[in-house]
């Protein structure tokens, strides 16, 4: 499976430039996917440099680059510190995270990520996870569904949607994507594409515990980055971007500034991007799925 088919790397040149790669350094790509970003990192490293690449999706293993400097780790980036330690690594020079769902995952109908499929409501990025989108729809209480859709999808009529799902499942359990679409069509407001995207995003985030995993990545990433190391993050919705911004500004995902004995604000990072960077018009045209991407970069102090 080629990288181009699997996923087109977003803002590739910007990411590599901001990593400010030391040819002898140790780098981490926590979202390997098709290997696009990793390949470019390897091109900047000499024989002493190393790259550790993480991915929890078994399909990504088909794209492993044959390079002695690359170590592929089959695991969730929320275990970054522990898994690096297993490989004898305590400090790295840079971390790259592309938080978006890959084109391959969206296009692979069997995964249930896309509302254009007829497949099982799965949405697990890691097959070993027990929770599926069908489980959420069939078992969550009305209040739990309201939390998922309002918080993770920012769906405007989350209460109406939650009630509709509870009503529909009383006569027929949710199994495949069309089962959910039938309910969504009955309560949908605003632009169809946006509404469906919000609902599917909310379910995906809940199934994969994405927000908690991101918090853990940010904290552990800050702990393993050496002074002067760069943290480069591509996010795709406001919830992710807010966490990244908070962490880079305050050193914690909540964005709460800590002060020293003298009342001075403690800083862990220098933000190199005062505002998030968006893809160019040319890149958006070439790769429409990059449109919502936001790039933030910080340097460890």
Average pLDDT rounded to a whole number, residues 234-242: 96
50 φ, ψ (degrees, to nearest 5)? -140, 150
pLDDT tens digit string along 239-268?
999 999 999 999 999 999 888 888 888 889
pLDDT value at residue 113: 66
Complete DSSP assignment for 208-277: HTHHHHHHHHHHHHHHHEEEEEEEEEEE-SHHHHHHHHHHHHHSSTT----B-TTSPBP-SEEES-SS-B
Q: Determine the Cα–Cα distance for residues 67 and 65; give it in Å rounded to an integer.
A: 6
How far apart, in whole angstroms, are the C-alpha atoms of residue 104 and residue 34?
9
Q: What is the rounded CA–CA span in Å between residue 52 and residue 84?
A: 8
- Give residue-wise pLDDT tens across range 102-137: 554 555 545 556 777 789 999 999 888 999 999 999
Q: How many CB atoms lie within 10 A of CB 244?
A: 26
CB atoms within 10 A of CB 114: 18
Report the distance separating Cα 105 and Cα 114, nearest Å: 8
Q: What domains are there in the chain, each with its CATH number?
A: 3-104+210-300 (3.40.50.150), 105-208 (1.10.150.170)
Q: Collapsing DSSP states into helix, strand and coil, what is residue 196?
A: helix
Maximum distance among all Cα pairs of the chain, rounded to whole angstroms: 63
pLDDT at 5 over 60: no
Question: Is pLDDT at 290 greater than 80 in this prediction?
Answer: yes
Question: Which residues lie closer than 8 Å to 85 by C-beta, 6 or more apart?
Answer: none
Nearest CA to 54 out of 92, 5, 25 is that of: 92
Give the pLDDT score at 115: 77
- Rounded average pLDDT over 151-163: 97
Q: Which pLDDT score, from 0 to 100, does residue 2 have?
A: 45
Please give the pLDDT value at position 106.
52
What's the whole-number average pLDDT of the chain?
Answer: 93
Query: Is the dihedral angle over the CA atoms 280, 281, 284, 290 positive or is it negative?
Result: positive
Is a pLDDT exceeding 70 seen at residue 196? yes
Taking alpha carbons only, the member of 154, 33, 147 closest to residue 100 is: 33
Q: How far is CA 20 from CA 37, 74, 79, 219, 231, in A?
A: 14, 26, 25, 21, 10
Strands (E), the chain: 26-29, 50-55, 70-74, 92-98, 225-235, 269-271, 294-300
Choice between 233 and 59, residue whose per-residue pLDDT is larger: 233
Q: What tokens does 3 get?
A: 């990288």
Q: Which residue has the higher pLDDT, 70 or 265?
A: 70
How sure is the predictor about 161, in pLDDT bands with cuts at 50, 70 and 90? very high
Name the β-bridge partners of 28: 52, 95
- Between the CA of residue 27 and those of 10, 15, 179, 187, 283, what are the distances in Å? 18, 13, 43, 47, 25
């Amino acid at each position: 499976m080629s990288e181009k088919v699997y996923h087109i790397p977003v803002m590739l040149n910007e990411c590599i430039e901001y990593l400010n790669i030391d040819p002898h350094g140790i780098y981490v790509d926590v979202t390997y996917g098709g290997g696009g970003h990793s390949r470019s990192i390897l091109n900047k490293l000499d024989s002493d440099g190393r790259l550790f690449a993480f991915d929890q999706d078994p399909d990504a293993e088909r794209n492993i680059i044959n390079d002695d400097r690359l170590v592929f780790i089959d695991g969730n980036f929320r275990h970054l510190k522990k898994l690096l330690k297993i490989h004898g690594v305590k400090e790295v020079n840079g971390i790259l995270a592309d938080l978006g769902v890959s084109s391959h995952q969206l296009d692979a109908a069997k995964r249930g990520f896309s509302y254009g499929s007829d497949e099982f409501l799965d949405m697990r990025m890691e097959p070993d996870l027990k929770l599926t989108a069908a489980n959420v729809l069939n078992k969550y209480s009305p209040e739990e569904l309201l939390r998922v859709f309002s918080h993770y999808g920012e769906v405007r009529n989350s209460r109406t949607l939650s009630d509709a799902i509870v009503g529909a499942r009383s006569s027929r359990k949710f199994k495949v994507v069309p089962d959910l679409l039938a309910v969504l069509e009955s309560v949908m407001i605003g632009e169809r594409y946006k509404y469906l995207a919000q609902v599917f995003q909310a379910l995906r985030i809940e199934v994969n515990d994405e927000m908690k995993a991101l918090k853990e990545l940010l904290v552990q990433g800050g702990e393993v980055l050496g002074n002067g190391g760069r943290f480069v993050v591509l996010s795709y919705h406001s919830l992710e971007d807010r966490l990244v911004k908070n962490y880079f500004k305050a050193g914690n995902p909540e964005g709460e500034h800590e002060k020293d004995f003298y009342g001075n604000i403690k800083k862990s990072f220098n933000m190199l991007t005062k505002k998030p960077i968006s893809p160019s018009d040319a890149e958006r045209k070439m790769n429409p799925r990059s449109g919502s991407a936001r790039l933030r970069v910080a340097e460890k102090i």
